Structure 1
């Protein structure tokens, strides 16, 4: 018979293992020595030890599920209970009991964690739904559409809730997306209709612009083109392809007209610049007639210059007032000379001037006599008053005398 601290083999080849409840039969061994029998079942015990070691590591270091861990523990416990190994089976049973506690604890932790994740997922989905419902009323079609698509991707990455809660939240989320899509579709349908109306309106504007491109009625046509441009801006945008094509035609028609007008205006400007040079020469020649010494000769010379002036034609607008002002100044000088000559040679005017001078002279002489009399009588107050009146009459007399001199004295 052979034995060790945890087992023995009797003379019949039966192998026993020692437990707290007494010896238990492990099996029988007929093929070799008792030592070999014990060694065999001791190796089976070591195999159990290795399996338990591995299971402990898996439970502690991997995400092995509680269900799988419990199945593995049950399988090992069956082997211990069936006593198919020689060794400290009670110690192995205790290790399994301790492992059960670890698994149960981890299961509770995972249950709490799942509950926490569930609550977080619910809050996250509720926030997604709230944002989606807010975006459903947005008119920022592009950015809101992109954000809704991003929300769908975020939703897909979140854990599922219980079926009822998940379905209710998804229904609200999906309804918000559908409402936004429906509004966006209606908006763009309306926009398409507006763009079609704009296209029709702009086609009419283009037709008129092209019909005007050959006009030589420069002023009214340019004004009409400005009106057409105002109407173009007010018409709104057509579809992109149509808009570009219509604009190119519209702008092209204007370019044809304004290029032709610019050519004509350039030619006219060159002509008017030459006219300005000629009129400046005539103005300089006219200015030499002032001051007027021989009115008759000056009048004849000015008439000749004026006839040549009228024959020259238009000058640039910005120079017109300046150069015409020079001729007008000469013309005013001629008129003033004519008026002075008329006054000098008009007998009736001379007689009236002489009569007025005589009257003023008599009034002055009378006032002087009254002043002398007042002072002789000692009435200085009256004399001072009459002296002030005399000053006014004397000024009038001086002016009248000067006028009379213009008539040749």
Structure 2
């Protein structure tokens, strides 16, 4: 009989392995010596040790699924439980039990991780749905459209939830996108209609602008072009393929008109500039008449200047007031001289002035006598009162005498 610490071979060639539950039959051996039998079944044991070690490493370092790991453990455990090896089988069972615990722990970790990922995915999809529903009401068509497309790409990259939850969130997400697309389509359909209306209106404006381009009624036509421009701006934009062409025609018609007007106005401005020089020379000539010493000669000289003035055309508007003001100043000075001469030579006015002067002189003489009489009588208060009245009448007399002098005395 042959034996080692974990097994033996009896006289009949039966091989046993020692376990905590006692000896277990491994098998029978008849092909060689008992030592060869033990060595054979010990190699079987070593093979199990290697197999368990490899499985432990796979469980520790790879993403081996719990299902596959359990299947591999079960397969090895069947071999250990069959007692077809000689060695510490109880130690192998203990290692397998620890490996089962490890696999279960990994399974729970992965389950928790999947639950966490699921919660994160749910939160992410709920956030996507909330943003999509907010974007569904946006009028920022390009920006919102691009953002919704980006949200779809983000959605595709997220893990799926349970079927019911995933379908419900996707339905809300899809509905928000559809609502936005429907609103955008309606908006652009309305915009197309508005742009078609704008195109028809602008074609009419272009037709009128082109018809007016040859007009020489400068003021009225320029005013009408301003009205057409206001109508153009109020019409909105036509379709892109029409807008630029219509604008070029509209602007081109105006350019033709305003270029012609500018040419005419340039000639007129040159002519008015020459007129201004002539009128400034006449204004200077008129100013030489002042001061008026000989009214008749002054009238004749101003009449001559004014006749030549009237024969000259318009001057630039911004210079008109100044040059005309110089002529008006000379004319007013001559008129004032005429009025002074009339007052001086008017017999009726002179007679009225003389009569008033005589009345005032009589009143002054009378008051002077009354003042002297009052003082002679010793009536000082009356004398003072009459003295003040005398001073007032004397001032009026002096003024009347001065006016009488203007009539030549």
Q: Same fold (TM over 0.5)?
A: yes
1:213 aligns to 2:213 (yes or no): yes
Residues 14, 25 of structure 2: 8 Å contact kept: no
**Distance change (3 Å), C-alpha of 1:205 and 1:388:** farther
What secondary structure is seen at the aligned counterpart in 1 of 2:86?
A: coil
Residue 140 of structure 1 and its aligned partner are, at CA, apart by 2.5
For each residue in 1:90-133, what CA deviation from the matched residue of structure 2 results, as whole angstroms up to 9, or x when unmatched?
A: 21111011111111122122223323333332233223222322
Q: Which residue of 1 aligns with 2:398?
A: 398
Q: Which residue of 2 aligns with 1:56?
A: 56
RMSD value, Cα: 2.3
Q: Which residue of 2 aligns with 1:94?
A: 94
Q: Which residue of 2 aligns with 1:252?
A: 252
**Which contiguous aligned blocks of 4+ residues in structure 1 show a shift greater than 6 angstroms?**
none
Structure 2: 5+ residue stretches without partners: none
User: TM-score scaled by structure 2?
Assistant: 0.92
Residue 11 of structure 1 and its aligned partner are, at CA, apart by 6.4
Q: Which residue of 1 aligns with 2:77?
A: 77
Q: Count how many residue pairs are aligned between Structure 1 and Structure 2.
A: 408
CA distance in 1: counterparts of 2:387 and 2:110, whole angstroms: 129
Residues 17, 26 of structure 1: 8 Å contact kept: no
Moved more, 216-225 or 108-117: 108-117
Residue 327 of structure 1 and its aligned partner are, at CA, apart by 0.7
CA distance in 2: counterparts of 1:29 and 1:192, whole angstroms: 99
CA distance in 1: counterparts of 2:63 and 2:382, whole angstroms: 136
Residues 59, 69 of structure 2: 8 Å contact kept: yes
What secondary structure is seen at the aligned counterpart in 2 of 1:23?
A: strand
CA distance in 1: counterparts of 2:64 and 2:393, whole angstroms: 135
User: TM-score scaled by structure 1?
Assistant: 0.92
**Distance change (3 Å), C-alpha of 1:267 and 1:380:** farther
Q: Which residue of 1 aligns with 2:265?
A: 265
Moved more, 110-119 or 317-326: 110-119
What secondary structure is seen at the aligned counterpart in 1 of 2:26?
A: strand
CA distance in 2: counterparts of 1:226 and 1:172, whole angstroms: 53
**Distance change (3 Å), C-alpha of 1:78 and 1:300:** same
CA distance in 2: counterparts of 1:232 and 1:402, whole angstroms: 74
CA distance in 2: counterparts of 1:257 and 1:165, whole angstroms: 71
**Distance change (3 Å), C-alpha of 1:247 and 1:62:** same
Residue 10 of structure 1 and its aligned partner are, at CA, apart by 5.6
Residue 26 of structure 1 and its aligned partner are, at CA, apart by 4.1
For each residue in 1:309-329, what CA deviation from the matched residue of structure 2 results, as whole angstroms up to 9, or x when unmatched?
A: 112211111111111111111
Residue 305 of structure 1 and its aligned partner are, at CA, apart by 0.9
CA distance in 2: counterparts of 1:226 and 1:243, whole angstroms: 19
**Distance change (3 Å), C-alpha of 1:374 and 1:57:** farther
